[in-house]
Amino acid sequence: MSKTTSIFARVEPEIKEQAEMVLNKLGIPMSNAINIFLRQVILQNGLPFEVKIMPGKPLAFGDLTTAEFNSEIEKGLSDLKAGRVVSADKVAGSINREYGRDL
């Protein structure tokens, strides 16, 4: 067996727990997943996924002025009137398929 070294990283407990749940479903130990990630960093000569700053932050009700809130409601009503909608059942089904959770 080849030599190994240890890596110690601080992560939020919830992130670690959620990652472990996914990896357990895949049958991959955390150490193997980290090894896969590091090998991909080497192969890609960088991160193996795109890293970018989102153009804007998600909206939170408490952060909006009354005018901003009304504007967002108007956008939603405009989408509704134009038929740019997705049913709640379709959204729930998509979440269930992607994350394995029933809503």
Task: Give CA–CA dist 103/99, Å, rounded.
Answer: 11
Q: Which two tokens stand for residue 18?
A: 């959620």
> At a CB cut-off of 8 Å and minimum separation 6, what does 34 contact?
7
Can you give the residue ranges of every domain in the chain? 9-52, 54-103
| pLDDT (tens digit per residue) in 38-84 | 999 999 999 999 887 766 667 788 888 999 899 999 999 999 999 99
Q: Which CATH architecture has domain 9-52?
A: Orthogonal Bundle (1.10)
Q: Which two tokens stand for residue 36?
A: 């896969």
String of DSSP letters for 1-19: ------------HHHHHHH
Q: Which two tokens stand for residue 77?
A: 């009503």
Indicate the pTM of the whole model. 0.51
